[in-house]
């Protein structure tokens, strides 16, 4: 699983491999020993012996996270594949406008579950993208019409590649070669 | 007279502080609480506790009648007002005395002599203490202000004679701004005080340090200065950091300030503990500002360097005991600094923050003193002052005290609501502050500062952020394998991400 | 030389104490941890941390080789041993030095000179310091013991020359008991030390006070005594309460003890911080017992009255710096007392108690210092010393320090396992202790004491006991109505049992 | 409900009335305001203004309770009607021996649910005793035979009065006038 972490001014990519247990930060493998201290909502992180006491200051479910690390306070936001895609489509809520669903990361498009012209409900799974050895279901953010499908099952896609375009229920299907 | 039981007419950390002093000298303590404070630490630590009304202070902690009724009902013989609320209300001091109770603080007459800025300025001037250039008569209209301004010169500051907390104050840079400033100041003062206010017009001293002298006076004519405190780290007249000795105060200036404080106190017929505030200009000259006729929030740093417990002493003085020391007996050892931990968000213009405190980890160890009322699960109510706790550190010298404060700030955790901790941590590492180069303009010039996170600390924070957001998303508590510690010699112990929680 | 990074070769509260001192003087700190201590506070507060093996100390904290490997691997230039574990192990000090690291404590040669009781007695005698009547040659068999006993007189005490912790010691009241005692002592010593032990035969001093002198010595020949501590409140040679100044120590005795400590330290070529222990008889005469060649658990009380940070000073002295003060510069202000909070059940013969600490409420406020490693949720392992925290209080005089300690003990909460808190609370209110009338027989004579609960406190406790057992029986969390506070004036606020939780 | 509380050397009776909300301790009505401080497992008790912070030091379900009250530590044990009765019958576990169930407090025997000769399972309700305005179900501590019933529904019984005798399954019913 791949996460985008915004810490203060800085953005970092944290990848957790599902089975092998490999952890990388910005592409660098990190040897880490982590303990949760539940009574304090704190985590103690040892990185090659270097010790970091990280306390979560913000109440559960508050965004952004406020973290205290070695006496420094920093605000953080985490997006995973799903939330990145959700964020991209957030504006589509109610699908009054045209919304482009893009690949949140490079990967293999394992399956397409919809066809152009279909009307999908909020939460309908539209495509399965395999990335970082995880299958990520891309779901519709709202009731809408699939006005364009830009990929085929089996395609390898780059991060950011256009996958599906949604529009209001009454919209016509878009031509194959459009403004994209 | 001998006291036996004290009503603590306050809440939060200062109520806790007074209760502790009562316990230390063998007095019983009686707490009061509003509806918002039934679970507060001051209620839990007192010997007795009584409800006094709804959460708004006007219906509880400011209700002198209820406080006195509780004091009488519970058989108290004294009332300690703490600071804030009714501590500088001469009418309350009078009512307490009229009810046959001892008021722990200066009597009403002294409070009246010093509570009005014009009266206090005259008193100081007549006592031979330098006062900022300005008016000694109430200024009631724009014409009078204009006349005064011509004599005083710009920049100047307009202050309501009877106000406090910065309300109705205006700094005026040039004559062109006077009329507007006058309208703003008088309007604000009227709405704050409920009546047209008389004003003082004073020369405005920029780039000055705020230095104050703690003094104590007994009923037998003795007045002793206990030391100065530099309180220049302020925003909107609210102090955030205080230290003693003042980094800019040399022996000559100190003696000058002490003498001035004693002269003002004597002229006012002062009793109990008080603080004379001064502005110190870059050239070392100083002018009298005002006297706070109560305990100050920053009193612990004076206690740390002198070994004198000011609240115990207040109680003894209120009982009529003579001062147990003379001016020459008081010696300051080392240096002390205090950081006010308040429920304010330093990243959002110090906006007060209400909410629930979820976790508290208190700093402790050598040289660290925490005066607080922090309890995990406590609700910080928006009705009251945001002061949560005072963290004070002592060291053999200023660098030692600052080092301990940095350590203590690093250990301290308050979760759930924003606090001033990040401001303090940043300031204690900021070169100008560390060098002692600061004045009342410090915060404006130095805050906010960029947060600097080391590379590995950033990696650790990023990983934790991911774990926290995963567990929040799944709704399940986060898990790491508690058995996953590899006991091995250095070089081999760290295996990458073999933790259950990372899968 | 200049130090930069220190290996803290210990755990728990003393490791935390050393880490704090490192932070205060700008040194990086490296913690080590056994498998039982991955979550411990000393690991969380250090700059770096490395595992050193399984929980048993013999496989971790006593493994000098691993500790030195970590120190070298992490780039440390010094090792602080704390107390206990390897702190008085001359072989470890030697190995540390051989590895090119600075040992924060006296060098191996000094430890050897003072570690053997016979050598130490000779050294003290030759330095002109009074020593308890007894042998100066190893006593190896019963005949020799009998001969020594005839010269010394009864009662007497048999002590293994190389032992510690009370193992193999026997008090002998009359000549009739000598043979039995000799067999018991030698047997016990053999099994504890693994080899036949040489013995010291000493006159036994009953009804004595245990008074010790803290001293510091630099590499340049200066030795300075910092003050005495009365540590007579002990059980089985384990101290529980210490205070300074000693309530029975007058200026003459103090100077005598100081001079004796300095003479012994000089004779041993002492370096760094050490403590000379003495027995003081009721008539004020004293005899030398031994020197502890390390920091003492009770060092905070000396810090509180002198303002000297002993661990910071240890680090500076280890770096070769000269003492920054002379004997005449050291002045004690006020009085200080320490209570050791240990995981032992005072109601069950001080039996060590392992378990999980569920709740911690730390005492704080004026005059209170807590040195601990307490974290809610922490597991107290049976493998290690039961010391959890040291609570120390300062006051202008002994009554003031005791009053603050009573207050602090009352505020302190440690839930989940039995601790010595009830013992301390009882003792701080016991008339003989309050009057300063005690010797090493105090605990035997005064503990256990009956618990006295006021009538209303008993009612409150009974009600809470019912509520707790109800909620335990129902399996549901206990509830009281959080809105059920009645805001009213005194006299009317208390309505009987209108709480949801009482139905 | 009526509770017997042993605090150190002292025994106190706490009664909580079910509906009226009256609280008495040793027969004396107590005006009390109680707040639970959950984070600390503490309770703050105000009795006519007198303040008592009571912290439960012992881990959940440990017997005896250890309580800290105003800096004093005290051990406590609480028994209610049911646990007193359970304690009396604890030895009956498995019902290999004759067990006498007695009234844990004075009250009204509202109902009897078994007859002599019945075989009851562990937990079977045998009688309902009304006391302190609470109905207390007296249950069988083990699978056993009811060998004697010493009371009738509607009887007023004294505390300690014999109610029911249980015996091993094979036991005969006891004669009406026996060794009791």
Query: Does A158 lie in the same domain as A88?
Result: yes
pLDDT of residue A81: 66
Per-residue pLDDT of C354-391, as tens digits, reads 899 999 999 999 999 999 999 999 999 888 999 999 99
Give yes or no for residue B72 having a pLDDT over 80.
yes
Residue B503: band (very low, low, confident or very high) from pLDDT cuts 50, 70, 90 = very low
Q: Which of D51, D52, D53 to mutate to test the interface with B (most CBs of B within 10 A)?
A: D51
Residue B118, in any domain of the structure = no
Per-residue pLDDT of C162-185, as tens digits, reads 866 667 889 999 999 999 999 999
Strands A125-131 and B48-53: unpaired
Q: Which residues of A93-105 are buried (b: 16+ CB within 10 A; e: fewer)?
A: eebeeebebbbbb
Kindly determine whether residue B499 and residue A70, on different chains, have CB atoms separated by under 8 Å.
no
In terms of Cα–Cα distance, which of A126, A122, A120, A170 is closest to A151?
Answer: A126
Q: How close is the nearest chain A Cα to the Cα of B19, in Å?
A: 28
Strands D99-102 and D162-167: antiparallel
In terms of Cα–Cα distance, which of A130, A160, A163, A159 is closest to A146?
Answer: A163
Q: Provide residues of D within 8 Å CB-CB of chain B.
A: 35, 37-40, 42, 44, 46, 49-51, 53
pLDDT of residue A83: 65
| Cis ω before C156 (30° cut-off from 0) | no
Average pLDDT over residues B243-251: 97
pLDDT of residue A84: 59
Residue B432: both structure tokens together: 């100008």
Question: What average pLDDT does chain A have?
Answer: 79
Q: Which residue of D has its CA nearest to B28?
A: D50
Residue A128, in any domain of the structure = yes
Query: Does C263 lie in the same domain as C391?
Result: yes
Whether residue B171 contacts residue B201, with contact meaning beta carbons closer than 8 Å, is answered with: no
Kindly determine whether residue A43 and residue B464, on different chains, have CB atoms separated by under 8 Å.
yes
Query: Does B289 lie in the same domain as B185?
Result: no
Per-residue pLDDT of C198-248, as tens digits, reads 899 999 988 899 999 999 999 999 999 999 999 999 987 789 999 999 999
Final residue of a structural domain among A52, A80, A108: A80
Residue B136: both structure tokens together: 């000694």
Helix (H, G, I), strand (E, B) or coil at B427: helix
Between C35, C69, C396, which is nearest B485 by CB? C35
Kindly determine whether residue D52 and residue C477, on different chains, have CB atoms separated by under 8 Å.
no
Strands A28-29 and A32-37: unpaired
Kindly determine whether residue C469 and residue D78, on different chains, have CB atoms separated by under 8 Å.
yes
pLDDT of residue B269: 98
| Cis ω before A64 (30° cut-off from 0) | yes
Average pLDDT over residues B277-296: 95
Q: Which of C15, C44, C69, C70 to mutate to test the interface with A (most CBs of A within 10 A)?
A: C44
Whether residue B305 contacts residue B261, with contact meaning beta carbons closer than 8 Å, is answered with: no
Average pLDDT over residues B29-51: 97
Beta strands in A17-142 (DSSP E): 23-25, 28-29, 32-37, 42-47, 50-56, 65-69, 72-80, 99-102, 107-112, 119-120, 125-131, 134-139
Kindly determine whether residue B48 and residue D49, on different chains, have CB atoms separated by under 8 Å.
yes
pLDDT of residue C422: 95
- Residues C137, B79: Cα–Cα separation, whole Å: 69
Residue A135: band (very low, low, confident or very high) from pLDDT cuts 50, 70, 90 = low
Query: Does C229 lie in the same domain as C303?
Result: yes
Q: Which residues share a beta bridge with C134?
A: C202
Query: Does B292 lie in the same domain as B164?
Result: no
Residue B481, in any domain of the structure = yes
Q: How many CA atoms lie within 13 A of C251 on its CB side?
A: 2
Residue C170, in any domain of the structure = yes
Give yes or no for residue B256 having a pLDDT over 80.
yes
Residue D176, in any domain of the structure = no
Average pLDDT over residues C254-260: 98
Give the DSSP per-residue string, B238-276: EEEEEEES-TT--HHHHHHHHHHHHHHHHHTT--EEEEE
Query: Does C58 lie in the same domain as C155?
Result: no
Characterise D41 by phi-psi region: left (phi > 0), alpha (psi -120 to 50), beta (else). Answer: left
Q: How close is the nearest chain B Cα to the Cα of A117, in Å?
A: 32
Characterise C84 by phi-psi region: left (phi > 0), alpha (psi -120 to 50), beta (else). Answer: left
Query: Does A73 lie in the same domain as A106?
Result: no
Kindly determine whether residue B375 and residue D38, on different chains, have CB atoms separated by under 8 Å.
no
Strands D72-80 and D65-69: antiparallel
Q: How many CA atoms lie within 13 A of C195 on its CB side?
A: 4
pLDDT of residue C498: 32
Query: Does B395 lie in the same domain as B335?
Result: yes
Q: Where are the alpha helices (DSSP H) in C289-430?
A: 299-306, 310-318, 398-411, 421-427
Final residue of a structural domain among A51, A80, A109: A80
Q: How close is the nearest chain C Cα to the Cα of B345, in Å?
A: 25
Q: What are phi and psi of C487, to 5 degrees?
A: -80, 105
pLDDT of residue C474: 61
Q: What are phi and psi of B482, to 5 degrees?
A: -70, -15
Q: Could you tell me what percent of chain C has a pLDDT over 90?
A: 82
- Residues C269, C291: Cα–Cα separation, whole Å: 13
Residue C37: both structure tokens together: 């201590």
Per-residue pLDDT of C58-83, as tens digits, reads 999 999 999 999 999 999 999 999 99
pLDDT of residue B382: 84
Whether residue C335 contacts residue C243, with contact meaning beta carbons closer than 8 Å, is answered with: yes
- Residues B200, B135: Cα–Cα separation, whole Å: 6
pLDDT of residue D87: 54
Query: Does A163 lie in the same domain as A140?
Result: yes
Q: How close is the nearest chain C Cα to the Cα of A122, in Å?
A: 39
DSSP state of B54: S
* Domain membership of residue B475 as a residue range: 455-502
pLDDT of residue C191: 79
Query: Does A74 lie in the same domain as A107?
Result: no
Q: What is the end-to-end Cα distance of chain D in Å, rounded?
A: 29
Query: Does C300 lie in the same domain as C439?
Result: yes
Q: Cα dist. A148→A139, A174, C50, C131 in Å? A: 15, 6, 56, 99
pLDDT of residue D101: 78
- Residues B78, B96: Cα–Cα separation, whole Å: 8
Query: Could you tell me the sign of the dihedral formed by the alpha carbons of A141, A146, A150, A155, in that order?
Result: positive
* Domain membership of residue A51 as a residue range: 2-80
pLDDT of residue D167: 82
Residue B350, in any domain of the structure = no
Query: Does D146 lie in the same domain as D116?
Result: yes
Average pLDDT over residues B335-344: 97
Whether residue C276 contacts residue C261, with contact meaning beta carbons closer than 8 Å, is answered with: yes
Q: Which residue of A has its CA nearest to B459?
A: A25
Give yes or no for residue C325 having a pLDDT over 50.
yes
Whether residue B312 contacts residue B321, with contact meaning beta carbons closer than 8 Å, is answered with: no
Kindly determine whether residue C485 and residue B35, on different chains, have CB atoms separated by under 8 Å.
yes
pLDDT of residue D96: 57
- Residues B31, C306: Cα–Cα separation, whole Å: 36
pLDDT of residue D131: 62
Kindly determine whether residue C376 and residue A49, on different chains, have CB atoms separated by under 8 Å.
no
pLDDT of residue B412: 96
Between C39, C47, C48, which is nearest A37 by CB? C39
Whether residue B390 contacts residue B13, with contact meaning beta carbons closer than 8 Å, is answered with: yes
Residue D91: band (very low, low, confident or very high) from pLDDT cuts 50, 70, 90 = very low
pLDDT of residue A179: 38
Final residue of a structural domain among C203, C230, C257: C203
Residue D86: band (very low, low, confident or very high) from pLDDT cuts 50, 70, 90 = low
Picking from A119-133, A140-154, B228-242, D153-167, which range would have the lowest pLDDT averaged per residue?
A119-133
Residue A140: band (very low, low, confident or very high) from pLDDT cuts 50, 70, 90 = confident
pLDDT of residue C96: 98
Residue B487, in any domain of the structure = yes
DSSP state of C165: T
Question: Does C498 lie at the interface with D, CB-CB under 8 angstroms?
Answer: yes
Whether residue B211 contacts residue B287, with contact meaning beta carbons closer than 8 Å, is answered with: no
Residue B390: band (very low, low, confident or very high) from pLDDT cuts 50, 70, 90 = very high
CATH number (domain holding residue D128):
2.40.50.100
Q: Could you tell me what percent of chain B has a pLDDT over 70?
A: 93
- Residues C261, C414: Cα–Cα separation, whole Å: 38
Between B347, B457, B473, which is nearest A69 by CB? B457
Query: Does A31 lie in the same domain as A19?
Result: yes
Whether residue C180 contacts residue C205, with contact meaning beta carbons closer than 8 Å, is answered with: no
Cα dihedral angle (B353, B357, B362, B368), rounded to 10 degrees? 30
Average pLDDT over residues B475-497: 31
Residue A69: both structure tokens together: 């690390």
Residue B273, in any domain of the structure = yes
Give yes or no for residue B499 having a pLDDT over 70.
no
Residue A177, in any domain of the structure = no
Q: Which residues share a beta bridge with C394?
A: C336
Give yes or no for residue D81 having a pLDDT over 80.
no
With beta carbons under 8 A apart, name residues in chain B contacting C45.
Answer: 411
Kindly determine whether residue C50 and residue A37, on different chains, have CB atoms separated by under 8 Å.
no
Residue B40: band (very low, low, confident or very high) from pLDDT cuts 50, 70, 90 = very high
Beta strands in C55-110 (DSSP E): 78-80, 102-103
- Residues B257, B244: Cα–Cα separation, whole Å: 14
Per-residue pLDDT of D19-76, as tens digits, reads 455 788 998 888 889 999 988 899 999 999 999 999 999 988 788 899 999 888 999 9
Query: Does B215 lie in the same domain as B185?
Result: no
Final residue of a structural domain among A18, A47, A80: A80
Q: Which residues share a beta bridge with B242?
A: B338
Final residue of a structural domain among C64, C87, C104: C104
| Residue C294 known to be catalytic | yes
Residue D179, in any domain of the structure = no
Between B303, B364, B488, which is nearest C51 by CB? B488
Per-residue pLDDT of A29-70, as tens digits, reads 888 899 999 888 999 999 999 999 999 999 887 888 999 998
Per-residue pLDDT of B129-157, as tens digits, reads 999 999 999 999 999 999 999 999 999 99
Final residue of a structural domain among C428, C446, C464: C446
Q: Which of A31, A39, A41, A68 to mutate to test the interface with C (most CBs of C within 10 A)?
A: A39
Helix (H, G, I), strand (E, B) or coil at C67: helix
Query: Does B292 lie in the same domain as B364?
Result: yes
Query: Does B178 lie in the same domain as B66?
Result: no
Query: Does D124 lie in the same domain as D98?
Result: yes
Whether residue C291 contacts residue C267, with contact meaning beta carbons closer than 8 Å, is answered with: no
CB neighbour list of residue B168: distance below 8 Å, 6 or more residues apart: B158, B159, B160, B185, B186, B188, B189, B192, B193, B197
Give yes or no for residue C477 having a pLDDT over 50.
no
Whether residue B245 contacts residue B332, with contact meaning beta carbons closer than 8 Å, is answered with: yes
- Residues C201, C178: Cα–Cα separation, whole Å: 11
| pTM for the predicted model, two decimal places | 0.83
CATH number (domain holding residue B79):
3.40.50.20
Residue B242: both structure tokens together: 């205080």
The structural domain count of chain B equals 4
pLDDT of residue D134: 56
Residue C89: both structure tokens together: 């192990």
Average pLDDT over residues D12-18: 82
Query: Does B388 lie in the same domain as B241?
Result: yes
pLDDT of residue A105: 60
CATH number (domain holding residue D38):
3.30.700.30
Average pLDDT over residues B219-229: 98
Residue B233: band (very low, low, confident or very high) from pLDDT cuts 50, 70, 90 = very high
Query: Does D86 lie in the same domain as D66?
Result: no
Question: What average pLDDT does chain D have?
Answer: 79
The structural domain count of chain A equals 2
Helix (H, G, I), strand (E, B) or coil at A40: helix
Query: Does D122 lie in the same domain as D144?
Result: yes
Question: What average pLDDT does chain B have?
Answer: 91
Give the DSSP per-residue string, C414-464: EESS--SHHHHHHHTT-HHHHTT---TTHHHHH-S------HHHHHHHHHH
pLDDT of residue A61: 79
Q: Where are the alpha helices (DSSP H) in chain A?
A: 81-89
Q: What are phi and psi of C5, to 5 degrees?
A: -145, 130
Average pLDDT over residues D71-100: 68
Binning chain A into helix, strand and coil, the percentages to the nearest 5 are 10, 50, 40
The C-alpha angle with vertex B124 and arms to B120 and B125, in degrees rounded to 5, equals: 115
Kindly determine whether residue B369 and residue C364, on different chains, have CB atoms separated by under 8 Å.
yes
Query: Does C299 lie in the same domain as C267?
Result: yes
| Cis ω before C155 (30° cut-off from 0) | yes
Average pLDDT over residues B375-381: 90
Q: Could you tell me what percent of chain B has a pLDDT over 90?
A: 81
Beta strands in B135-208 (DSSP E): 156-160, 170-172, 199-203
Query: Does D64 lie in the same domain as D90?
Result: no
Query: Does A119 lie in the same domain as A88?
Result: yes
Question: Does B48 lie at the interface with D, CB-CB under 8 angstroms?
Answer: yes
pLDDT of residue A88: 52
Residue D177, in any domain of the structure = no
Per-residue pLDDT of C263-299, as tens digits, reads 999 999 999 999 999 999 999 999 999 999 999 999 9
Query: Does D85 lie in the same domain as D162?
Result: yes
Between D37, D39, D51, which is nearest B49 by CB? D51
CB neighbour list of residue C232: distance below 8 Å, 6 or more residues apart: C208, C209, C210, C211, C438, C439, C440, C442
């Amino acid at each position: 699983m791949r996460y985008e972490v915004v810490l203060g001014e800085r953005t970092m990519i944290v990848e957790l491999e599902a089975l092998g247990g490999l952890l990388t930060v910005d592409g660098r493998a990190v040897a880490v020993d982590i303990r949760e201290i539940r009574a304090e909502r704190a985590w103690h992180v040892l990185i090659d012996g270097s010790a970091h006491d990280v306390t979560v200051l913000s109440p559960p479910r508050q965004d952004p996270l406020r973290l205290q690390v070695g006496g420094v306070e920093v605000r953080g936001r985490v997006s995973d594949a799903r939330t990145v895609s959700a964020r991209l489509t957030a504006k589509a809520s109610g699908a009054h406008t045209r919304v482009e669903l893009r690949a949140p990361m490079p990967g293999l498009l394992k399956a397409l579950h919809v066809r152009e012209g279909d009307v999908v409900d909020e939460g309908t799974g539209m495509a399965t993208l395999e990335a970082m050895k995880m299958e990520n279901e891309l779901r519709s953010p709202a009731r809408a019409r699939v006005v364009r499908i830009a990929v085929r099952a089996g395609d390898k896609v780059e991060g950011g590649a256009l996958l599906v375009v949604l529009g209001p229920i009454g919209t016509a299907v878009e031509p194959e070669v459009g403004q994209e | 007279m001998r006291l036996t039981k004290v009503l603590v007419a306050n809440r939060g950390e200062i109520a806790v502080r007074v209760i502790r002093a009562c316990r230390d000298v063998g007095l019983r303590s009686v707490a009061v609480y509003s509806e918002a404070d039934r679970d507060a630490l001051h209620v839990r630590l007192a010997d007795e506790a009584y409800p006094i009304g709804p959460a708004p202070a006007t219906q509880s902690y400011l209700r002198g009648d209820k406080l006195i009724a509780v004091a009488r009902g519970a058989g108290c013989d004294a009332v300690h007002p703490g600071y804030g609320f009714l501590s500088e209300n001469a009418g309350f001091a009078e009512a307490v005395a009229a009810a046959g109770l001892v008021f722990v603080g200066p009597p009403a007459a002294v409070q009246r002599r010093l509570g009005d800025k014009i009266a206090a300025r005259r008193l100081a001037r007549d006592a031979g203490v330098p006062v900022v250039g300005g008016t000694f008569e109430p200024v009631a209209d724009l014409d009078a202000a204009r006349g005064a301004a011509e004599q005083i010169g710009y920049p100047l500051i307009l202050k309501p004679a009877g106000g406090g907390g910065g309300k109705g104050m205006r700094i005026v840079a040039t004559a062109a701004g006077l009329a507007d400033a006058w309208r703003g100041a008088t309007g604000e003062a009227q709405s704050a005080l409920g009546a047209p206010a008389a004003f003082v017009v004073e020369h405005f001293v920029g780039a000055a340090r705020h230095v104050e002298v703690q003094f104590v006076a007994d009923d037998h004519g003795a007045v002793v200065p206990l030391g100065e405190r530099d309180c220049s780290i302020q925003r909107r007249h609210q102090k955030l950091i205080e230290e003693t000795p003042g980094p800019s105060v040399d022996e000559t200036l100190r003696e000058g300030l002490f003498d001035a404080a004693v002269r003002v106190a004597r002229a006012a017929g002062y009793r109990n503990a008080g603080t004379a505030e001064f502005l110190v200009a870059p050239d070392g000259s100083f002018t009298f500002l005002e006297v706070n006729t109560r305990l100050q929030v920053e009193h612990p740093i004076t206690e740390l360097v002198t070994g004198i417990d000011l609240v115990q002493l207040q109680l003894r003085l209120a009982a009529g005991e003579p001062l147990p020391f003379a001016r020459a007996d008081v010696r300051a050892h080392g240096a002390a600094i205090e950081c006010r931990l308040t429920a304010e968000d330093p990243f959002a213009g110090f906006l007060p923050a209400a909410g629930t405190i979820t976790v508290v980890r208190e700093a402790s160890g050598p040289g660290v003193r925490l005066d607080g009322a922090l309890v995990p699960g406590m609700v910080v109510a928006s009705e009251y002052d945001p002061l949560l706790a005072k963290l004070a550190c002592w060291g053999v010298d200023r660098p030692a005290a600052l080092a301990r404060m940095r350590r203590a700030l690093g250990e301290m955790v308050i979760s759930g609501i924003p606090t001033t901790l990040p401001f303090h941590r940043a300031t204690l590492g900021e070169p100008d502050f560390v060098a002692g180069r600061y004045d009342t303009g410090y915060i404006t010039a130095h805050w906010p500062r960029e947060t600097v996170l080391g590379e590995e600390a950033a990696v650790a924070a990023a990983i934790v952020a991911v774990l926290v957001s995963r567990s929040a998303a799944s709704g399940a508590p986060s898990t790491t394998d508690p058995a996953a510690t590899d006991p091995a010699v250095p070089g081999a112990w760290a295996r990458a991400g073999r933790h259950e929680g990372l899968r």
